[in-house]
Amino acid sequence: MDRYTVETLGINIDEYWRILMRIVSWNVNGLRACAKKGFLEFLERSKADVVALQETRAFPDQLEEKVANPKGWFTFFSPAERPGYSGVAIYSRKEPSRVERSLGVPEFDSEGRYICVSFGRLTIASIYFPNGSGKERDNSRVPYKLDFYKRIFSIIEDKRKAGPVYVAGDYNTAHHEIDLARPKTNKKASGFLMEERQELSRWEEAGWVDTFRKSHLGEEGHYSWWRQFGGARENNVGWRIDYVFASPGASKLVKKAFIWPEEMGSDHCPVGVDLIR
């Protein structure tokens, strides 16, 4: 049963939210640029109830009104202090009962990498995990990245005590060799360093579920990011670094997990889950 079937049957939207829900996550690589490439059309075409965005790279007042506040959506932003950098957002069809933007660590909050909304006991976070490469491609930001992972982990571990939690975003790490096209040549690159991958293993050891991999076990060739040169996307030479991780209870509600590589507008593509509640 999809959303439009629900509406055809005349079920109240609050009742619908108790039956089915779609969460979509997308690193848009600049929301202003993505808007020019059809973001609003995607928003409707996605049939999503919650859309988590990363790398928005804009303050809300820099966005066109129709992008910042599209009809039928509640929107929430957490921009970086630095103009044109980082930033996350959540678009929701239903107004959340709570919105949270702070990790309680100034060096993380200043980069606008975290926003979390709750609908009663259900929690959804949009997170843009740091890239560890650094300006000189010398992996100088890896310590910052690992500290960020640890802070996020402590926050979400606490939240799962209250109910189902979905952590959607660009994790900037391919967990296993199956999650990137060329693992052997990237073992010394941030995004596939062992210490970064171990952070995701720690999540799984604590019970968190990579929703896509759970339902596509052993399937190769599924990626969510491609370099913007050398025909990487055309040849599907990519990385799966965008995830929806679910707490143990939340994972039981996942009907389907998906990646939409056909959606353009960014060097990343959307990923998401359909839930039965």
Residues catalogued as catalytic: 170
DSSP string, the chain: --HHHHHHTT--HHHHHTTEEEEEEEE-S-HHHHHHTTHHHHHHHTT-SEEEEE---S-GGGS-HHHHS-TT-EEEEE--SSTTS--EEEEESS--SEEE---S-HHHHTTT-EEEEEETTEEEEEEEPPPSSTTTTSSTTHHHHHHHHHHHHHHHHHHTTTS-EEEEEE-----SGGGBS-SGGGTTSTTS-HHHHHHHHHHHHTT-EEHHHHHSTT-----SEE-SSTTTTTTT-EE--EEEEE-HHHHTTEEEEEE-TT--SSSB--EEEEEE-
How is the beta sheet containing 122-128 ordered, strand by strand?
A: 98-100, 114-119, 122-128, 165-170, 242-246, 209-210
